[in-house]
Structure 1
Amino acid sequence: MLTFGVDIGGSGIKGAPVDLEKGTLSQQRFKVRTPHPATVAGVTDGVKQIVDHFDWSGPVGLTFPGVVTVGSTIRSASNVDQDWIDMDARALFSERLGGHPVTVVNDADAAGLAELRFGAAMGRRGTVILLTFGTGIGSALFNDGVLVPNVELGHLELWGQDAERRASSKAKEEGGLAWKEWAGRVKEYLAHVERLFSPELIVIGGGISRESEKFLPLLDGVRTEIVPAQLHNDAGIVGAAMCAARQAAA
């Protein structure tokens, strides 16, 4: 069973058809740069480029880097243009894609669903948290496999500001931080998350998870089990497709 997924991020928009039996992309993903500023028109045009690239016809699942209500209204837009707030994302994208059925979900929630079904958190019970380190820090919180949506843990206050301002992979890149220095910040952030939620497992996702061997050994002192995501940066695409298929079957 194939369904299409698109992952909208702060630096790139990427998508592909997804084999939902295997949890893998059925074709190599196609990516365009997220426009800056990430306006409504610019991002929707980018999504259309990706869908048109595959000549896709059918349901499309989309992730969004912010809070998305059950009714698909955007409630926050930290790393995209503020004009997104209060937009009906489902209606907006469906119109731009020529009437395709569209499902919209928070980006980290989608990645978490994919890792829970096919990846590093598969079969895990108790409290599981996925954290994606990229332009910001996305988060997905699960209890016994049930998602608590839109938990924006990247905006926890630490060091007098949103934690993602100092501990995201963007902060590492822009600050020219060595792995050890950046890992020190991540470790302090994870200890804060641990104190608040007492998770059984923390999954580190986002593109930086491909280099987990460079920083996971430096996160000593955090008691919670920490593992890298298995789907890496494809998790959002897979999770978006999962949500689209679920909506189509409802």
Structure 2
Amino acid sequence: MARVDLRVTLASPWLGADLGRVRRVLSFAPHRPGFRSARHILIRQVRDADLAPDLDAMGWLGAEMARIGHGGDVGMMTSRGLHHHRLAHAGPVACLATVGLGNAERVGRRRMVSPGGYGTINIALLVEEGLTDAAMIEALSIAAEARTAAVMDAGIALPTGRATGTGTDCIAVACDAGGVAFAGLHTALGEAIGAAVHEAVLAGALAWVAEHGAEPALAAPGCTGALGI
């Protein structure tokens, strides 16, 4: 099968993934989450200094997307420099990822990140297969598993244990509607999803560690880091 064509454009402060045509998108993105139809998935870069505790991040992002004519698309945010994005392919799957780990967490052992400790992992996944609703949910779960494996492989040390992700990670899965009903680890599609996501996130995580080290900032009581970036 030919490599899936996920067209990526960088025009700061936006990183865009053109899905080629209107697709079904399942995500928990800040802008237009859930099951949606969209042609693009966009990631808006923000500066840590912009992230006031009282910021209505979702409303702000929606207004920013509407301003550039993409109010009907799916949107995410990152404080990571957009030039650090990573793109990986595996069979019928393409994965675009931005990886910041200042907000890293160990699953099941929440910590409170320090001011300026924002950072998130954004994943935009295009599957060139027609999936059922259930298969899209399964694909999103496989992407999350691959993200976790990649972060653990990067070896981020926290007081709570080895990091498994960040407190504000976001995943969007795009595909056409169709009859493919399974995307689990025993399937060729699940294998491709896992391979593409793991490659993109690990490359981004290792680049972040090379810049910042493997021990993100320690806890600061009362700061939740819940702005979604």
Q: Same fold (TM over 0.5)?
A: no
Which of the pair is proportionally richer in strand?
A: 2
TM-score, structure 2 as length reference: 0.29
TM-score, structure 1 as length reference: 0.28
